[in-house]
Amino acid sequence: MDELRIYSRAISASEVAQLYAIESESPQTSIAKAVRLDHQSLKVGTNYQLQVSSDMNTWTNWGAPFTANAITNSQYVDVQNWSQFFRLQRQ
């Protein structure tokens, strides 16, 4: 026996089935590809936009623009395709 529960009342067969269903589900884990934006050298109060390109000629905005601030350290942005190029543009 590796788990034991004590209830203050008898639980119904339906409650037992619900507990079993909830706890027997395998935890779902997924691995995300991400780019880390390092904000240490950004100018505080300036707006920036992450952009992606597959050929370094045509650039597309990725995610929402953000404003650098004094307490921002770094953030991760999910990426679906590692063969893309990334750049950070001032807005």
Tell me if the pTM is above 0.85: no
CB atoms within 10 A of CB 52: 19
Asked whether residue 24 is domain-assigned, the answer is no
Asked whether residue 34 is domain-assigned, the answer is yes
pLDDT category, 67, cuts 50, 70, 90? Answer: confident
Asked whether residue 2 is domain-assigned, the answer is no
* pLDDT attached to residue 60: 92
Question: Has residue 72 got a pLDDT over 60?
Answer: no
Asked whether residue 46 is domain-assigned, the answer is yes
Structural domains of the chain, count: 1
**Kind and range of the H or E run holding 66:** strand 66-67
Asked whether residue 56 is domain-assigned, the answer is yes
Residue 67, domain extent: 30-90
